[in-house]
Amino acid sequence: MASLGKITRRAFLFGAAAVAGGAVFGYWYVSTPYENPLEGDLAEGEATFNPYVKIAGDNTITVIAPRAEMGQGISTTLAALVAEELDVPLEGLKVEHGPASWAYYNSAMIEEGGPFAFYDESVTAEVMRSVMGGVAKVFGLQGTGGSASTRDGFIKLRQAGAAARLMLVEAAAARLKVPAGELKTAAGSVVHEASGRSLTYGEVALDAAKLSPPADPPLKEKSAWTLLGKPQKRVDMLAKVTGAPVFGMDVMLPDMLFGTVILSPRFWAAPIKADLSKAEKMPGVIRIVPLATNYGHGFGVIAENTWAAFRAAEAIEAEWDAPEYPPDSAGIAKVLTDGLASPDGSAMRDDGDVDIAFADAPRERIVEADYFVPYLAHAAMEPMNATARFSDGVLDLWAGNQAPTITRSLCATALGIDQHKVNVHTPSLGGGFGRRVEVDFSLCAALMARETGGRPVKVVWTREQDMRHDAYRPAAAGRFQARLGDDGAPVALDMKISSPSVMASTLRRLFPSMSPLGPDRTIVDGAYNQPYTIPDYRVTGIAAPVTVPVGSWRSVGSSINGFFHEGFLDEIAVAGKTDPVALRKRLMAGYPAAVKVVEKVAAMAKWGERLPAGKAKGIAFTLSFGSWVGEVVQVAQMPAGIRIEKVWIAADVGTALDPGIIEAQLISGAIYGLSAAMGQEITFADGAVEQSNFHDFDAMRIGQCPVFEVAILENFHKMGGVGEIGTPPAAPALANAVFALTGKRLRSLPLGKEVTFA
Amino acid sequence: MRLIVDGKPTEINADPEMPLLWALRDIAGKTGPKFGCGIAMCGACTVHVGGSPVRSCSLPLGQVDGEVLTIEGLAREGKLHPVQQAWLEEQVAQCGYCQAGQIMSAVALLDQVADPTDEDIDAAMSGNLCRCGTYPKIRTAIKKAAALKTAGI
């Protein structure tokens, strides 16, 4: 694992920003709280206790859950953290996303951004985590990502509830003229049992909010939890089964116009010439405007309705500049595979001496393989959209987004206004998966709102624009080599992974003034930091210079390297004539949490029991976002092709805050990974994405969906994330099952290019 | 033109070529049906016309030949439809964006088949895409809804 010496020699992305941030802002800035953004926007008689809690005179209690609700249930779990300590039932709360604010920075999101594995608890690793957490605060990064929201909120939000409760009790004690120690709280009221008197929180809220908040309010022991640790009814469920207007797509404002965009089919390319005349004359069209943002170029169509805008966009005739990257998939793949031979890689793991280990290895003891994964689109169900109104110098923006403070800052820059003149409203997201970290849809709407004389404009992208203008999961090429020992287990493992840098690409769009300063750990994430002990073990990442925009796709690097590492480990097991479960348990013996996960999932799946002819199983394990996840996939050969029959998942999340939501997320993550492994791929021709809609970039349908069985474990002492962890082991478990069924070792995704799925 | 939408006469002045989805959303203000693909591949826009499920993104307004029912008109007098009730009890939705279409397809299925098999469910629901992977819960909820409906709940 990376030592202190190696880290100081090599700066790394965001790490360098961390050091710069600390130097510029200093400790004072890092340790001082931000202002409460709710202060300026309270209703009559309403009081706020901290950025997370508002209470009105009628006892309406509002909890701010400042993370994007994109299906992962975060609004419910964050509200439960507050409600647990505030002593109110979840049904008794209003839950809102709240405004964009630095106060809602997410430290956990980049705490693990250093070059350390999650299980590395050395002083150096811990110092780095604390520095990185400080950076999130310095930059006021309010974001939803990295499966970090519960880890970030676990203490903060319980403290917010506990502090408010103590203040309410103190105010009630003064009102009732009894010692605070004689008061209890329940269901949103303060109760004095001895006298039978009680006050609702609402009745004392204004007094209570004037008191100074306790610095370090005590929190309930886990054993005393009444909401946490138990499945809760989701706070957003009723709205979502009745078709309530909760999404950005549903925003309706008085006097609103509608619009769409048509962006350069070649990323970053500017128009050489364009003829808008035909489009401008189409019925319902109001105006067509050129767009130029951090994301490149295009045109915005403003119209009286969405359909008129879509039709006019199709009628725009434009020629675009040449691409700055190889124009087709073969050319891009060549850059990636050429990268594997480059000496410039960065070894984020370098145990023992791999070069010596392979120098004298007998040929028959060496296992070698090349792997490849394609670019992928996020394809969230709700196409990108945003609604903007620019009136009296103030921009109001409604956009389902995962990064409100970045959205605010970039929209302000685009319009040349102060960011305090930008109000970002974050409705529910019809899927995020990392796509809505981006700001392109917001920037387009903001620029178009300049052209409407103050009228709001809802800008909806077609599915085709959405599919062809993503920040894609990057393609990656891997070259792997293992040396087997006398007993068939690997004694040396060398992995090289060449892929475009997600971090460099993200900086270009979101922080264009920052330049990438070092290796990008996402290239090797999921390969360099797995809980296996192999004496000579090296994992090298090479940033391939291809500038197709790439971004965070559910589980990011682990979506690539889970497949690479676990697929190759299966090959090692076969070559060494060892059982894949037994081999994993042996290599991860130093990490009991990992062993227990593998044992559990193997027991659930009855691993090792004989299956009828035409059926087979595969296993994979990935530690990602602080959670340890094993998956077993069972496939069956049917007349129409291979059917995925059953998937077993065991996951150690450390502390399970809501087992119902966690189970749903594990299944969701696995289906997302299986969809990609079965059939998804984004390819390029003439500098443009070839796929355009669900007919050529489909996902698993209900008839293909396997039966799931899930076990949630709580053995590890640190809490892990949930939203992304089901994805990484899905593809390799499927590929390993397909090998067990057919004898075909598929090293390239999607598997559907080689086999048919029923 | 004049349509009956969720039981109410609704005047819609629009090009008859405009897909029903956009007429509902942009003109009638019915945002329950969702835009997902525009080519009848994802089912997010599913509504009933004359009692049958249709992909409103691909049905021109001029060809609408029956009463339109959207997710917003499913609950009657404050009481959820059994399918919505089952969805609520089984906690089906995640992001929720596809669910209006899923529910409308499930309602149509149960109108035709009181006690659907897994094969019936696959056939009726395969046109409705969900990227969150709520399929296992959709299957359970449809069976629960069938039971609720048969019991007259």
Judge: B95–A306 Cβ closer than 8 Å, yes or no. Answer: no
Q: What is the pLDDT of residues A198-208, one digit of tens each?
A: 999 999 999 99
Q: H or E element: which one contains A123?
A: helix A123-138
Residue B18 to residue A305, Cβ atoms within 8 A: yes
Q: From the centroid of its chain, how far is CA A663?
A: 17
pLDDT of residue B35: 98
B127: closest chain A residue by CA:
A701
pLDDT for res A590: 97
Task: Report pLDDT digits (tens) over B96-132.
Answer: 999 999 999 999 999 999 999 999 999 999 999 999 9
Please give the pLDDT value at position A135: 74
- Does residue A17 surpass a pLDDT of 50? no
* Per-residue model confidence (pLDDT) at position B147: 97
The CATH superfamily label for domain B2-73 reads Beta-grasp domain (3.10.20.30)
Cis check for the bond before A750: say yes or no (omega within 30 of 0): yes
Q: What is the mean pLDDT of residues A304-325?
A: 98
Say what the ipTM of the complex is: 0.98
Class at the top of the CATH hierarchy for domain A248-323+384-460: alpha beta
C-alpha B68, offset from chain centre? 10
Whether A242 sits inside 8 A of B80 (CB atoms) is: yes
pLDDT in tens, A450-469: 999 999 999 999 999 999 99
Q: Where are the domains of chain B?
A: 2-73, 82-150
Interchain contact B1–A (C-beta under 8 A):
no
Residue intervals in chain A for CATH 3.30.365.10? 33-106+141-240, 248-323+384-460, 329-376+472-753
* Third-level CATH fold of A33-106+141-240: Aldehyde Oxidoreductase; domain 4 (3.30.365)
Read off the pLDDT of each residue in A598-623 and give the average, rounded to a whole number.
Answer: 98
B73 and A CB contact within 8 Å? no
Is pLDDT above 70 for A717? Answer: yes
Chain B CB contacts of A259 under 8 Å are none
pLDDT value at residue A12: 40
Distance CA(A366)–CA(A579), nearest Å, equals: 18
Cα B146 from Cα A663, distance rounded (Å): 25
- β-pairing, A197-200 vs A189-192, is antiparallel
Between CA A77 and CA A149 the distance in angstroms is 9
- Picking from A36-45, A276-285, B135-144, which range would have the lowest pLDDT averaged per residue? A36-45
Q: Is the pLDDT of residue A131 over 70?
A: yes
CA dihedral A94, B91, A708, A150 (to 10 degrees): 0
The residue written with tokens 């939890």 in the block is: A225
Measure the CA–CA gap between A269 and B137, rounded to whole angstroms: 44
Q: Do A237 and B41 touch (CB under 8 A)?
A: no
Best of B48, B83, B90, B91 to disrupt the A interface by mutation (most A CBs within 10 Å)?
A: B91
Q: Which residues contact A249 (CB under 8 A, 6 or more apart)?
A: A382, A383, A385, A430, A460, B31, B34, B35, B97
Is A549 a residue whose pLDDT tops 90? yes
Domain A329-376+472-753 in CATH 3.30.365.10? The answer is yes
Query: Quick one: fold of B82-150?
Result: DNA polymerase; domain 1 (1.10.150)
Task: Quote the DSSP letter at residue A40.
Answer: G
Q: Which of B35, B99, B117, B134 to mutate to test the interface with A (most CBs of A within 10 A)?
A: B35
In tens, the pLDDT along A27-38 reads 444 456 788 999
d(CA A459, CA A249): 9
Cβ atoms of residues A405 and A398 within 8 Å: no
d(Cα A593, Cα A716) in Å, to the nearest integer? 6
- Whole-number Å distance between alpha carbons of A37 and A636: 55
CB nearest to B91's CB, from A234, A283, A669 = A234
For chains A and B, count residue pairs whose Cβ atoms are closer than 8 Å.
Answer: 173
Tell me if domain B2-73 and domain B82-150 are identical in fold.
Answer: no
pLDDT on residue A469:
98
Return mean pLDDT, chain A: 94
pLDDT for A31 equals 54
Residue A140's pLDDT is what?
78
Q: What gap in Å lies between CA A598 and CA A592, rounded to an integer? A: 10
pLDDT of residue A517: 65
CA A424 to chain centre: 20
Identify from A247, A251, A310, A381 which residue to disrupt to test chain B contact, counting B C-beta atoms within 10 A and taking the largest count.
Answer: A381
pLDDT band for position A383 (50/70/90)?
very high
Residue A581 has pLDDT above 70, yes or no: yes
Whether this prediction's pTM lies above 0.90 is answered by yes
∠ at Cα A689 (A684, A690), nearest 5°? 80
Chain B residues close to A240, C-beta within 8 Å: 93, 96, 99
Q: Is the pLDDT of residue A403 over 70?
A: yes
Is 80 exceeded by the pLDDT of residue A636? yes
- Given strand B8-11, what is the order of strands in its sheet? B8-11, B2-5, B68-69, B46-49, B52-55
Contact A307 B22 (CB under 8 A): yes
With a CB cutoff of 8 Å and minimum separation 6, the contacts of B70 are A243, B5, B6, B24, B30, B32, B33, B47, B100, B104
pLDDT (tens digit per residue) in A345-372: 999 999 999 999 999 999 999 999 999 9
CA distance between the termini of chain B: 37
- Please determine, for residue A20, whether its predicted confidence score (pLDDT) is greater than 60: no
Q: What is the pLDDT of residues A243-265, one digit of tens each?
A: 999 999 999 999 999 999 999 99
- Give the pLDDT band of residue A126 (cuts 50, 70, 90): confident
Contacts of B87 in chain A (CB under 8 A): 237, 241
User: Average pLDDT in the A224-245 region?
Assistant: 98
DSSP 8-state assignment for residue A57? T
